[in-house]
Amino acid sequence: MTVKDFSFPLNVFARLLEMQEGRVEYLHFPTFESADEPVLQAQERASRHLWQALPPPGRLLEVGIGLGTTLARLSAAGYRAMGITPEAAQVAEVRRRHGPLVEVMESRLEDFAHEAGQWDALLFQESAQYIDPLALFDAAERLLHGGRTHLVVMDEFALRRSDAAHTGLHEIGAFCDLAARHGWRLVHRTELSAQAAPTLDYLLRGVRARRDDLMADLSLDAATMDGLEAALTRSQTLYREGVYGYALLRFEREQPSADRPVRLGGAQAGAVRTLFERIFGHPLSAEEWAWKYGDGRGHAVGLVRPGRVPPGGDGAEPELLSHYGGLSRRVIFHGEPVLACQVCDVMVDARARTALARGGPLQRTTATFLDEQIGWGKPHRIGFGFPTDRAMAAAEHLGLYTAVDEMVCAAWPASSAGTGVGTVAQPLEAADLADGGEAVPVIDGLWRDMAAALPQATLGVRDAAWLRHRYLGHPRFRYELWLLRRRLTRRPIGVAVLRRHEQHLEWVDAVAPPAAWGALLAVARQRAAVLGAPMVEAWITQSQQHLMQALAPQDIGLRPLGIRVPANAHSPGPDADAHRGRWLLMAGDTDFR
């Protein structure tokens, strides 16, 4: 194998250096003193920067090996060094170049377990950007020993984000904060953005000048080369704007942290359910956990503390101290379809005494989740939730949330007056909303009408797929779905979602333009009368309560619920003014009604 067999685009960069410089020793960015400096000379300077930040010789794992040049130098300098990469072609090329002078293994960091708990240091040179930060620090916990250890990272980062287009690369501030939450102290930081930026100019010029040769040599098509040029041009622009940059970081710690944030998934569902019951006083079934978090619908992080090993035991499960969850929800935000995160299941064990302190479990868990999930360049553009006034005050105190709305409850007495002779209400069953069900195009059309009638609102998608999962697929609560039509023309008017309680009937959700809500309320009031419920109640955001006040205004009552709607105030993203007065949320937008 040769550098031609490397994965794209490493094969292009390595082959380009061979073509233009006659040889290739490194695959990392050069750091230039001047734009016309020879690139190999500038790469050697970058290596000197790296060596100035390395810890003393010890057992060092290099994650990402390039061409093995740094690994060979480490071994020659007295380090007991080993390198890993998930790419077989790189392993073969390094062994061809350096033979027994280096120790390399084909493996992802996430899967690597060789000599776990015995390493002194981990080195990442332009490899950290390809590894999820939580997974990176989790691997450090697993691989490094319990004494003084080191992390060295030389890589590209996002220096700031202020736009939805600012995607890619780890945000350097969030990365350093996450390191601190794992007990790491930043002891060395060198900013190299200005010196590294000419690398993009060099690569872009070379790719354009050698385009035909590279395509023939590496069997690449024109579309692939066009995509590479576009990516290089984008990075070039982001460097010039100060969005992207390059930095050398070194972290140290004397011993592992007593607890640390981790991502939680199916393997931890049992611990999450146990914590849920301890905090909220009622169980969270395995079915309900799967309904929320299964199949990629939900995301969660938690703070864990290493478990105590019983006498004669081999190990212990870590103890879950906190949990912060979020459910992905498609919404219309400023007229654009985006992914939002509905925060849920925020829990801190009472035994974690510093829950409301800065640096306490609540702050560390929430900040980790927000840094990972919500804001510019994150999986979710925006977030929302339904914290109580007390929980909201704690989050505001910690600088995590800012309030942008609150929930109110509207109520009307039951009425047997019905919906009028010109309409008919049809109950919807699971088969009606199944794939190919006759109600699916009807509901999807009503949802489009609703969205068109509320162009200024931030509104969760309410199509048939959403109704099917949210209501008919709920493992614990039972809902009634009523489709209201014109009797003669069969034209659909809207869908009302209802839930029966002991003392009232809840109007949980609506799929219809607001002009049709009065007819849906009539369905709910009549149904309440049939069931013997004295009242119909509905939740709505205060900013949108006028939509409810217009319905049977002579009968309506309104009361505050002590539940505020937050916006993310921690990680860079749309500011609070982008949210205020826009959210249309009902009880069905929660996970607990």
Rounded Cα gap, residues 399 and 526, in angstroms: 46
332 and 433, same domain (yes or no): no
pLDDT for the residue 419: 73
| Residues 147 and 285 both lie in one domain | no
- Express each pLDDT in 511-561 by its tens digit: 999 999 999 999 999 999 999 999 999 999 999 999 999 998 999 999 999
Task: Give the per-residue pLDDT at 354.
Answer: 57
- Do 163 and 270 fall within a single domain? no
469 and 341 inside one domain: no
Q: Three-state SS for 167?
A: coil
The domain containing residue 276 runs over which residues?
A: 260-363
If asked whether residues 241 and 166 sit together in one domain, one would say: yes
Q: Count other Cβ atoms within 10 Å, centred on residue 435.
A: 8
Q: Clarify whether residues 462 and 486 are in a common domain.
A: yes
Question: Are residues 151 and 140 in contact, defined by beta-carbon separation less than 8 angstroms?
Answer: yes
> Token digits for 163?
């736009």
Single out the residue in 253, 271, 287 at which a domain terminates: 253
pLDDT of 3 reads 87
Residues 226 and 303 in one domain: no
Residue 306, pLDDT score: 81
Closest CA to 264 of 98, 125, 75, 134: 134
Tokens representing 45 are 């300077």
Q: What is the mean pLDDT of the chain?
A: 94
The answer as to whether 558 is a domain residue is yes
Query: At residue 356, does pLDDT exceed 70?
Result: no
Q: What is the mean pLDDT of residues 54-67?
A: 97
User: Which of 528, 461, 466 lies closest to 498, judged by CA?
Assistant: 528
Q: Do strands 319-333 and 336-348 pair parallel, antiparallel, or not at all (unpaired)?
A: antiparallel
Per-residue tokens: 535: 């009242």
* Banded model confidence at residue 420, pLDDT cuts 50, 70, 90: confident
Residue 38 covered by a domain:
yes
Q: What's the CATH code of the domain at 112?
A: 3.40.50.150
Please answer whether residues 519 and 493 qualify as being in contact, where contact means their C-beta atoms are separated by less than 8 angstroms.
Answer: yes
What average pLDDT does this structure show over 327-352?
94
Q: Which of 202, 221, 253 is the last residue of a domain?
A: 253
For residue 431, what are the contacts with CB-CB under 8 A and spacing of at least 6?
A: 437
Per-position b or e across 212-234, b if 16+ CB within 10 A of its CB: eebeebbebeeebbeebeeebee
Domain match, 504 and 551 both? yes
The 10s digit of each residue's pLDDT in 272-327 is 999 999 999 999 999 999 999 999 999 999 999 886 434 444 555 679 999 999 99
Whether 378 maps to a domain, the answer reads no
**pLDDT at residue 309, rounded to an integer:** 39
Structure-derived torsion over alpha carbons of residues 23, 29, 31, 32, reported in degrees to the nearest 10: 60
Q: Which helix (H) or strand (E) holds 427?
A: strand 423-428
